Structure 1
C-alpha cells in the first residue's frame, strides 16, 4: 500500500514539475487565496514561506544587476560604423524606456489600481522617509565607495558604477577581455541562480497570498483586475501612440505599413512572452517585410533584446504605484524620478533573464523603500502582464531598427511601402542576391 502511495506521489510530483512555471505560480496564487479565505487571520502562519522567497529574490538583486549591466555595456563594441549605430541604439532604447516608465506612472496615477486596499506593511517599511533635495539625490547617485554601495545594496550607485566600469573595459580593448569573460561567466551563473530561485516562486506566492487573503479577504481581486487593465492600456498607448509618432515624425514613414509588416513577430511575442525567442521572427520581419538591411538588423535587434525593456519599464511604473497605493504610502516626486532612473538604467542588462520582470520590480521597490510583499501579489498575474510587455519590447526593437536603418540610408523605402505580394517578391530577390 505504501509502495503504491509512494508511486502515486512520485507521478504527481513529476506531473507538477512538468507544468510551466507561470502556471505553477498562478496555481500557487489561487490556492493561496483560497487557503487564506478559509483560514482567515490564522493564515498568517504561512507568511514566513513567502518572506523566505522574497529574501531569496533580494539576495539576487545586487550581483545580478552588477554583472549583467557590465555584460550589456561591453557587448556593444564593434567597428566604427557599428559603434555609431550602437550609440544611436543605446540612446534610443534608454530614451524610450524612460518615457515608457513615465507613461506607466501616469496610467497608475490616473487609474489608482491599489487605492482602497489598505494593506499594512511590515514594521519599518511604512516609516516616514526623509526626502532628499534634488542636488543631494544627484550627488548620491555616484558612490564614494563602490564596495560599500554593493554591500549595502545602494542600487542606483551600483548601476552607475557598473555602467562606468563596463565603458572602461570597452575602452581598454583587448586588455579588458579577461575581466569581460569573468563577468560574462558570473552573469551566466547569476542567470542560473535566478532560474533556481524562481522555481520557489509558486510556494512563496502561495504563502504570501494566503496571508494577504486571510487579512484582507476578497477585496484584493478588483485591484488586481485594475492592474491588468492599467498595464494593457499603457502598453497600447506606448505602441500605437508613441511608436507611431516616432515613425511618422522622425523617420517620415507610414506607421500602418510598419505594423502590417511586423504583425507575425508581435503575435509570437504575445504567445511566447519571450523577446529572445521572438528574435528570429523579428529579424525575418525587419529584412523581408520592412526592407531593413541585414547589416543593421543583425546588430540592432540582438542589442535591443539585451537592453530594450520598454514594456517591462512601463509595467514597473504601474505596479510600483499599485504597491504604494495598496500600502497607503505616498511617493514624492523624487521617488518618481528615482523609479524612472533605476528602471531605465537597470534595463541595460536584464533582458533574457528568467523572472526578469519580478526581479526588476523588486529592485525598483527596494530603491524607493516600498514593501516587497507587493511582489507576491503581482507574481500571480505576472504571466498575463508579461504577454503585453513583451509585445512592447519587441515593437520597440523593430521601431528602433527601422528608424536607425532610415538614418543610415540602409532602409529600402520602396520595399517598406510595398504591399504584401510585392514585399515577398523583393525579399525573394534579395535572398537570391545574397
Structure 2
C-alpha cells in the first residue's frame, strides 16, 4: 500500500503535487481556523507543533542550497558567455537582454508600489507564524544598509568574498561570482597562454560539474516540496484564515498584470520603435512558443519551438537565432524580474519596512544581476526570492514567512513567468536581427 502510494506520488507531475498540496493545505488550515474562531478553542496551538516541522524542513533545505546555487550558477553562467564568438552582435544581444530584464524589474517595482500588496492586511502576528514554522529569529544575513546610505550600499557590493559567503551577503556574492566568471571567460578567449587556458578550462569543467551536482540536490528538494507546501499552507491558513487571502490575491493579480503588460504593451512598443513595423504582426508569429512555454513552464523545453518560429516564420538567420535564444534561456528572466519586486513590496508592508529610492534601485540591480545563469536552476524564482529579501535586510524569520507564502502560488505564477521569459528572448533576438540585417526574405 505504502509502496503504491509512493509510486503514485512520484509519477504525478510536480506542479500538480505542489498545487494539490497548496489547495489541500489551505482547506485544512481554513477549517482549523474556522473551528478555532467559532469555538474559542486554540486548536491551531495543539495541532501545528505536529504539522509545521514538515514546512520547517522545506525552508531549511532551501536555505541550505541557496548559496551554492547562486555561487556556482552565476560563475558558470558568466564564464560561459561567448564574449567574442559573435563579436559586436553578441554584445548587442547580451545588452538587449540586460535592458529588458532591467525594464521588467522597473515595471514590477512600479506596479508593486501602485498595487501595494499586503497593505492593511491583518498579519501583525507573523512572529507566531514564524515560531510555528520552526524558524528562529537569528540573522540569516548581513542586513542591507539603512536608508539614505546609497554610498554604503555600493561599498557593500564589494566585500571580501569569503566574508560574504560566511555572512550570506548575497549582493556581494553575486558581484564576485559574475566578475570571476567573466574573468575566466576573458582569459579563455584571449588564447595567449595555452597552459593558463588549459588550467582555467579544467576549473570551469569542475565548476560545471559542481553546479550539476547542486542542481540534482535541488531536484531532490523539489520532490519533497509538495509535502512542505502542504504543511506551510496548513500553518498559514490555520493562523490567519481569510486574512491571508488578500496578500495572495493582490500579489497574484499584480504579477500577472505586470507580465501581461510586458507582453502586450512593453514588447510591442519596443518592436514598433526599433523596427518601424506593425509589432502585433510580429508578436502574432510568436504565439505558439508563448503557449508552449505557458503549458510546459520550461524555457529549455520551449527552445525547439522558439528556434523554429524565429527561423521559419519570422525569417531570422539561423546563425543569430541558434546563438541568441539558448543564451536567453539562460540569462534572460523578464517574468521573474516582474515577480520579485511584488514580493519585496509585500514584505515591506507586512514588516513595516520603508523602501527608499536607493533601496528600490538596489532591488532592481540585485534582481537583474541575480537572473544571470539562473534560467536553468530548478525552482529558480524561489532561489532568487531569497536573494532579494536578504538584499532588503530581512532576517531569517521574515524571509521564511515570505517564502512560505510564495511557495503556494509559485506554480501558477511560474506559467506566466515562463511565457514572459520566452517572449522576451524572441523579442530581443528579433530586434537585433532587424538592426543587423539578419532577417531573410
Counterpart among 133, 141, 151 of residue 157 in structure 2: 141
Q: Report what 1:308 is aligned to.
A: 332
Counterpart among 71, 79, 84 of residue 76 in structure 2: 71
Runs of 4+ in 1 over 6 A off after TM superposition: none
Q: Report what 2:18 is aligned to.
A: 25
Q: Is the 8 A contact 2:385 2:403 kept in 1?
A: yes
Distance in structure 2 (CA, Å) of the matches to 1:288 and 1:56:
44
Q: What are the equivalent positions in structure 2 for 1:179-258 lying under 5 Å apart?
A: 179-258=203-282
Output one character per residue of 1:164-210: Cα deviation in whole Å (capped at 9) or x when no partner: 11111112113421111111111111111111111221222222222
Counterpart among 4, 7, 12 of residue 14 in structure 1: 7
Q: What are the equivalent positions in structure 2 for 1:95-110 lying under 5 Å apart?
A: 95-110=99-114
Output one character per residue of 1:373-421: Cα deviation in whole Å (capped at 9) or x when no partner: 2112221111111111111101110011111111221113xx4xxxxxx
Q: Report what 2:426 is aligned to.
A: 398
How far the C-alpha of 1:333 sits from its partner, in A, is 2.8
Q: Is the 8 A contact 2:29 2:234 kept in 1?
A: yes
Q: Pairwise CA RMSD of aligned residues?
A: 2.1
Instruction: Give the TM-score normalised by structure 1.
Output: 0.88
Q: Is the 8 A contact 2:74 2:372 kept in 1?
A: yes
Q: Report what 1:162 is aligned to.
A: 177
State yes or no: 1:280 paired with 2:304: yes
How far the C-alpha of 1:265 sits from its partner, in A, is 0.6
Counterpart among 121, 131, 156 of residue 117 in structure 1: 121
Secondary structure, aligned partner of 2:376: coil
Of stretches 316-325 and 179-188 in structure 1, the one that deviates more from structure 2 is 316-325
Q: Is the 8 A contact 1:97 1:310 kept in 2?
A: yes
Distance in structure 2 (CA, Å) of the matches to 1:199 and 1:327:
31
Instruction: Give the TM-score normalised by structure 2.
Output: 0.87
Q: Is the 8 A contact 1:31 1:206 kept in 2?
A: yes
Of stretches 380-389 and 16-25 in structure 1, the one that deviates more from structure 2 is 16-25
How far the C-alpha of 1:268 sits from its partner, in A, is 0.4
Q: Is the 8 A contact 1:43 1:214 kept in 2?
A: no
How far the C-alpha of 1:267 sits from its partner, in A, is 0.9
How far the C-alpha of 1:124 sits from its partner, in A, is 6.4
Secondary structure, aligned partner of 1:199: helix
Q: Report what 1:376 is aligned to.
A: 404
Q: Report what 2:415 is aligned to.
A: 387
Distance in structure 1 (CA, Å) of the matches to 2:269 and 2:24:
44
Cα–Cα, structure 1 residues 49 and 12, in superposed 2: closer, same or farther, change >3 Å? closer
* Structure 1, gaps ≥5 residues long: 1-7, 416-434
Q: Is the 8 A contact 2:330 2:375 kept in 1?
A: yes
Of stretches 329-338 and 393-402 in structure 1, the one that deviates more from structure 2 is 329-338
* Structure 2, gaps ≥5 residues long: 33-42, 131-136, 189-196
Q: Is the 8 A contact 1:204 1:376 kept in 2?
A: no
Cα–Cα, structure 1 residues 312 and 252, in superposed 2: closer, same or farther, change >3 Å? same
Of stretches 166-175 and 319-328 in structure 1, the one that deviates more from structure 2 is 319-328
